[in-house]
A = this chain, B = another copy of it.
Amino acid sequence: MNPILAVGSVAFDTIINPFGEANRIVGGSATYFSIAASFFTDVRLVAVVGEDFADRGDQLFGGRRVDLAGLQTVPGETFRWKGEYGFDLNNRETIYTKLNVFEQFHPAIPEAYRSSPIVFLGNIHPQLQLEVLDQVSAPRLVAADTMNLWIETTHDELREVLKRVDVLIINDSEARELSHEANLVKAARAIKAMGPKTVVIKRGEHGVLMTRADDGEFFAAPAMPLEEVFDPTGAGDTFAGGFVGSLAACSQVNDAAMARAIIYGSTLASFAVEDFGLDRLLTLTQDEIRDRFGCFKRLTHFEID
């Protein structure tokens, strides 16, 4: 079992959608990632919160396989985000983003975490992602996320990060923007040429496309067909948590393990969207994960005649 060092944001989110409003709930990329990954392995969370976070960390992560020694509390307010979804849950409007204590954040990796075999770099400034990589010693696997903001404003630093990661997890529009290729196959290959051995492209309700190492081809998975999608907030980070968590639990990371990891990521994400914010993940059980993984197999498998 390989613990994961996860660095990213912990936040207070306010989410409005046609079904209701969730006010000042705990969110942030590292939060979703850590809770999802903790179903598979131990997670060492490095992030920053303000004094207003109080004991929310213990409430949320207590009893889970998430170590909080790297969760810094500093004077000031926790990162806050407010967003609103219309009936088309694929599009959301950000009402505000207040970085607060995150503005001055520099990840300080506790000594005991520096030899973590698996590192996940959440969607933070590429310079901070590089600072994390400079503090760790020879991890077996480094996975990273990024976003359009960094592609547009910190392109050179991002390219440095890409040279040092094994897996880039990115959504389809970001992949197109980063590669200047409209076609996703070309986009994935262009990004792979920038450094990552594996490129995972998240396509929301259309599933996931991943480059494969052994033959230069692809692995593709549909999203679980869901009758109700309640709140997509954090679905991408939850996918990353299930994906990296599942890989961490493998003795060997080969194409078969990567394909399974895509399905575990998709499984966790399919639960996350069923309720506001983290709510569904907080009641999720190992049995439910196993059952839905089996649903994915029935959803996609066929035999050659």
Contact = CB atoms under 8 A, between A and B. Distances in A.
A146 to B, nearest CB: 22
A302 B256 contact: yes
A220 B225 contact: yes
A225 to B, nearest CB: 5
Contacts of A87: 182
Interface residues of A, number: 43
Nearest to A261: B302
Given A260-B305, A302-B256, A217 B295 contact: yes
Contact of A259 (B182, B228, B229, B302): B302
B297 A302 contact: yes
Contact of A220 (B222, B229, B257, B303): B222
Contacts of A229: 183
A190 to B, nearest CB: 11
Nearest to A262: B302
Interface string A35-71: 0000000000000000000000000000000000000
A7 interface: no
Contacts of A203: 206
Interface in A140-184: 182-184
Interface in A208-236: 209, 215, 217-222, 225-229
A298 B256 CA distance: 10
A225 B259 CA distance: 16
Contact of A294 (B222, B257, B304): B304
A279 to B, nearest CB: 21
A263 B301 CA distance: 10
17 contacts: A183-B228, A183-B229, A184-B225, A185-B226, A207-B220, A207-B222, A215-B298, A217-B295, A218-B225, A219-B300, A220-B222, A220-B299, A220-B300, A260-B303, A260-B304, A260-B305, A297-B304
Given A257-B305, A260-B303, A260-B304, 14 more contacts: A183-B226, A185-B226, A185-B227, A206-B207, A207-B222, A217-B295, A217-B298, A219-B300, A220-B222, A220-B299, A250-B305, A256-B303, A300-B300, A300-B301
Interface of A: 87-88, 182-186, 189, 203, 206-207, 209, 215, 217-222, 225-229, 250, 256-257, 259-260, 262-263, 293-295, 297-305
